[in-house]
Amino acid sequence: MLFLWLYMFYSCAGSCAGLAARGSPAPPRAAPPLLPGEPGEESSLEEQRVAPDAGSPISSFFNGSGTKRLPQAIIIGVKKGGTRALLEFLRVHPDVRAVGAEPHFFDRNYERGLAWYRDLMPKTLEGQITMEKTPSYFVTKEAPARISSMSKGTKLIVVVRDPVTRAISDYTQTLSKKPDIPTFESLTFKNRTTGLIDTSWSAIQIGIYAKHLENWLLYFPVGQILFVSGERLISDPAGELGRVQDFLGLKRIITDKHFYFNKTKGFPCLKKAEGSSKPHCLGKTKGRTHPDIDQEVVQRLRDFYRPFNMKFYQMTGQDFGWD
């Protein structure tokens, strides 16, 4: 009887391994650890992961296999640009394994060391890519050197959005948590009479993309950074995901068939999320209604950002059409 049991076990192991080699789906990812981070930047439990379907015998057999590796690609920014949507879309790809929560390693937890960072990563099989996303990296002065020190070949992705809209979205998020904060208009200016913009306010400062990019180009060539349009991620998610998959060296598996447009939320959702057979939209913290902002203030902000936008277009070789 013992001999028969061993024979059946090793026969199963051989056939399952053969299936994996021919491209069977990777095992469901273990739930990522929840880490401290910037308020509002981390996703809710609903957004971090979608509960996988009950595993098949094959997926159960391989659950836990693979190796934890440092990420080969990182979504480094920007806050309120669409990074959560991009990560959730990418996780549909069978060759992408990503941490759900934001590790904040290169800005807040660097002293913990690379071994700690690697231990946060999901296990991957040969040919799969390990990823993470922490939008605050893009505006963190020390982050480029630290990532370069880990690996000069790390591929970087930046999701950018009209800086005026991004600033209003940033403010809207804070307002939802702190209803008694000053108005957007009062925070925008150091002196409204003179029209002097307060660039020390993070909601304004983040949108000066050209300034932040200069720091990254000291350590990485521009060709190693992919700039994703937050606007096109909404209007043409499959098109932007095609560019991302090409950049990462992945087969174009994520296509139009994976998306549907949710009119209520105002952005695309997945017909089937990673590890699930059910449709999935980002949670209620995404797609908040923006408050009405004085149009004179909006115009002053557009005038302020215009030269920085033009420089950013030149640096990236892309016109994002924000004016």
Tell me whether residue 53 is in a domain. no
Tell me whether residue 309 is in a domain. no
Question: Which segments of the chain are extended strands (E)?
Answer: 67-68, 73-77, 96-98, 123-124, 129-133, 155-160, 189-191, 196-197, 225-229, 259-262, 267-270
Task: Give the CB-side neighbour count of residue 217, counting CA atoms within 13 A.
Answer: 12
Tell me whether residue 41 is in a domain. no
Give the pLDDT score at 271: 84
Choosing from 68, 79, 80, 278, the catalytic residue is 80
Hey, what amino acid is at 99? V
Q: Which residues are annotated as a binding site for 3'-phosphoadenylyl sulfate?
A: 80-84, 161, 169, 286-290
Tell me whether residue 323 is in a domain. no
Q: Tens of pLDDT along 83-135? A: 999 999 999 999 999 998 999 999 999 999 999 999 999 999 999 999 999 99
Tell me which residue range forms the domain holding 135.
Answer: 67-164+203-289
Task: Give the CB-side neighbour count of residue 291, counting CA atoms within 13 A.
Answer: 16
Give the pLDDT score at 267: 72
Pairing relationship of beta strands 155-160 and 225-229 according to DSSP bridges: parallel
CATH code: domain of residue 265: 3.40.50.300
Instruction: Tell me the mean pLDDT in the region 227-241.
Output: 96
Total domains in the fold of the chain: 1
Tell me whether residue 153 is in a domain. yes
Q: 179 exposed, middle or buried (CB, 10 Å; 0-12, 13-18, 19+)?
A: exposed
Tell me whether residue 98 is in a domain. yes
Phi, psi of 290 (to 5 degrees): -75, 145
pTM of the model: 0.78
Dist. CA 233–CA 286, nearest whole Å: 14
Residue 80 annotated as catalytic: yes
Tell me whether residue 102 is in a domain. yes
Tell me whether residue 190 is in a domain. no
What distances in angstroms separate CA 154 from CA 132, 264, 288, one per listed residue? 12, 37, 33
